[in-house]
Amino acid sequence: MKPWGSIKGQEVGLYTLANAGGMQADISNYGGTIVSLRVPDRNGTLADVALGYRTLDEYAVSAYSPYFGALIGRVGNRIARGRFSLHGRDYRLATNNEPGGLPCHLHGGLKGFDKMVWKAEPFKRNGAEALRLFYTSADGEEGYPGNLEVIVTYSLGADGALSIEYEAHTDKPTPVNLTNHCYFNLKGEGEGDILDHLAEIRAANYTPVDKGLIPVGTIEPVAGTPFDFAAPHRIGERIEDRHEQLVLGAGYDHNWVLDGQGGLLSLAARVTEPVSGRVLEVLTTEPGVQFYSGNFLPLPGALPPMIGKSGKPYLHRGGFCLETQHYPDSPNQPSFPSLILNPGEVRRSVTQYRFSASAPVSL
Ligand code: GLA
C-alpha cells in the first residue's frame, strides 16, 4: 500500500495488483477507484488505459466528478425525479443530475459510494493479487432504507482479467445496483478519442430513454439501428446519425439488455483498438450494461480544461464506459428485473474486464 493522503482524518492508500503478464492495476480505497490500469499492447508495450486524476484531491474536490474508475452505489444509474415507493412507503432521494431539464437521482446521490473511504484488505487468492473493500452504508444515507453492508473484491488474474465481485447484505428491504464507472481508452488515457475503437455488444435489445435519460419502459430491438453492435462497429461509425435516441443521449448513453443472462458469467461486450491491438472483453452476471461514449467529457476549448493524470487533456469522447448493472430507473419500472434486496438475502454479482492483444499483423 502506498499512502495517498487522507479524507477527514481517514487514511487513503493506493493498492497495486500485478500479474505475471505485466499488467498492473492501482486501486484506491477512496471510492474503490481504479486509478490506473497498465495493459500491454500486441508488442508488449504497456499503456495506462483508464482515465483518472493524479492526486486524491482532484478526485475529492473536483467540482465536476465524472466518476472516473469509481465504485457506484447504492443505486447506480438514474432514478426518475429521485423518487420511488417500496412496500407502500415513498422515498425521496437527492436529485443531482438534470438531463434535458428533468431532475433525477444519479449514481447514488450527492455522496455516493464513489466518494466514501472504504476499509481495505489486500490478500492473495490462488496466486492472484486481490483487494477486498468494505463499506457500510447507514440506514437513511442518501435517503435509502436499511443498513447496507457492501464487500467488493478486486483481483487480477494471470489471464489478464480484472475481476470485480460485489456482495451486499441489508437489514431492511432496499434497492441495490452496484457497478464500476471506469472510463477506458485502449490507446492509453489522454490519447485522443475512442471513436475508432471497434465495439461489439451481446444484446439484441436495449431500453430507449426520454429526454431525461430515463427509460420509457419498453425493451426494443437494436436490429437495423445504430445500437446494433452484434457485429463489430467503430464506435464513431453511426454516433452522429440523426436517430432520436442518439440525439437524446448526445451519443451512446443507454442500457443494453444483455442476451442470455441467467446470472451466469457471460460475455457482454468486446472492444478492440486496431492500432495497439488491445482488446477488452467485459463479462458479467448482470442483466444489463450501460454503454456510455464519454459524451459529457468537455468539448475542445471548454474551460476549465479537464487535465488527466499524465498532464494530457481529456476531451469529449476521450473514454468509454461499460457499466454492468441492472436497468436504469428499475425502482419505478415494474417490468424490469428487481433491484430489491431483502434482509437474510445475499446480493452477489461478478464483472470481469479481461484484457488481451490481437495477434501482430505479419508483414
Ligand atoms: C453515466 C451516465 C451518463 C453520465 C455519466 C457521468 O454513465 O449514464 O449520462 O452521467 O454517468 O458523467
- Give the distance (Å) from ligand 1 centre to CA of residue 290: 9
Residue of 106, 194, 323 to test ligand 1 pocket, by largest number of atoms within 8 Å of CB? 106
Catalytic residues: 181, 323
Residue 182 Cβ contacting ligand 1 at under 6 Å: no
Nearest residue by C-alpha to atom 4 in ligand 1: 296
Cell numbers found for residue 351 = 464483472
List the pLDDT tens digit at each of the 363 positions of the chain.
999 999 999 999 999 999 999 999 999 999 999 999 999 999 999 999 999 999 999 999 766 679 999 999 999 999 999 999 999 999 999 999 999 999 999 999 999 999 999 999 999 999 999 999 999 999 999 999 999 999 999 999 999 999 999 999 999 999 999 999 999 999 999 999 999 999 999 999 999 999 999 999 999 999 999 999 999 999 999 999 999 999 999 999 999 999 977 789 999 999 999 999 999 999 999 999 999 999 999 999 998 899 999 999 999 999 999 999 999 999 999 999 999 999 999 999 999 999 999 876 555
Q: Which atom of ligand 1 is nearest to the CA of 253?
A: 8
Q: Which atom of ligand 1 is nearest to the CA of 99?
A: 9
Residue type (1 letter), 247: V
Nearest residue by C-alpha to atom 5 in ligand 1: 66
Q: Distance (Å, rounded) from C-alpha 278 to C-alpha 41?
A: 5
- Give the distance (Å) from ligand 1 centre to CA of residue 321: 9
C-alpha gyration radius of the chain: 19
Q: Distance (Å, rounded) from C-alpha 183 to C-alpha 201?
A: 17
- Give the distance (Å) from ligand 1 centre to CA of residue 325: 13
- State the Cα torsion 315-352-70-8 to the nearest 10°: -150
Q: Looking at the chain, how many residues does it have?
A: 363
Nearest residue by C-alpha to atom 8 in ligand 1: 253
3-state secondary structure of 250: coil
Instruction: Please list, in sequence order, all residues whose beta carbon lies within 8 angstroms of the beta carbon of residue 73, skipping any fewer than 6 positions away.
Output: 108, 112, 113, 137, 150, 176, 177, 178, 179
- Give the distance (Å) from ligand 1 centre to CA of residue 162: 22
Residue 292 Cβ contacting ligand 1 at under 6 Å: yes
CB atoms within 10 A of CB 127: 9
Side-chain half-sphere CA neighbours of 108 within 13 A? 22
- Give the distance (Å) from ligand 1 centre to CA of residue 9: 30
Nearest residue by C-alpha to atom 12 in ligand 1: 66
CA distances (Å), 217 to each of 82, 208, 220, in order? 17, 8, 10
- Give the distance (Å) from ligand 1 centre to CA of residue 83: 19
Residue of 246, 248, 306, 321 to test ligand 1 pocket, by largest number of atoms within 8 Å of CB? 321
Cell numbers found for residue 45 = 508495450
Beta partners for residue 123, in sequence order: 130
Nearest residue by C-alpha to atom 6 in ligand 1: 66
Q: Are strands 161-170 and 148-156 parallel, antiparallel or unpaired?
A: antiparallel
Residue 291 Cβ contacting ligand 1 at under 6 Å: no
The alpha carbon of 154 is separated from its chain's Cα centroid by a whole number of angstroms, namely 14
pTM of the model: 0.97
